[in-house]
Amino acid sequence: MNKKFVLLILFILTLILTLFFIDPNKQTQTILIVDADTVVANQANFYDKELRVRGFVKPGSIVRMGNKAEFIVVHNNKELPVYFNGKTQIPDTFGDAAPVRIDGTLNPNGTFTATKIEAKCASKYEAPNMKINHDQLQYRDYNKL
């Protein structure tokens, strides 16, 4: 093989590897997935961390302000006040008693600033004429099965 060709291939490979390791768009931050009651009980452990919090919207707690909202997430009778900053769209399924997952950060004053809301319509998963008390639902730990 030609010596110039081999040097050109090595140069291109070095350039590609360099771009891969220096990529400024790579996300290295970890998002912690926790239940709302865990956040409320151990607030000091969750400041300045990206969180994905699970729970249920407390009925009657939603206050919408344009594309922003304030509401309370409940899990195991613990309440987490949430402020949604409106950077993404509020889903159509977001409403009272809906299972919800919110992404954001916990503030030192105990409120949660959400940048994303994901909600499911609980009625889609319930049997007809069946009432579910969402505060009594428990997440199953599949690692213990």
Interval 8-29: pLDDT, tens: 898 998 888 777 777 665 555 6
> What is the distance between the alpha carbons of residues 78 and 36, in angstroms, rounded to a whole number?
7
Q: What is the mean pLDDT of the chain?
A: 82
> What is the distance between the alpha carbons of residues 47 and 124, in angstroms, rounded to a whole number?
35
> What is the distance between the alpha carbons of residues 85 and 13, in angstroms, rounded to a whole number?
44
Q: Model's pTM, two decimal places?
A: 0.66
Q: How many CB atoms lie within 10 A of CB 91?
A: 15
pLDDT tens-digit readout, 73-117: 999 999 999 999 998 999 988 999 999 999 999 999 999 999 999
Closest to 114 measured CA to CA, from 77, 81, 139, 91: 81
Q: Are 118 and 91 in contact (CB under 8 A)?
A: yes
32-137, CATH topology level: OB fold (Dihydrolipoamide Acetyltransferase, E2P) (2.40.50)
Q: Tell me the average pLDDT across 113-127.
A: 74
Q: Tell me the average pLDDT across 42-69.
A: 93
The β-bridge relationship of strands 99-106 and 68-75 is unpaired
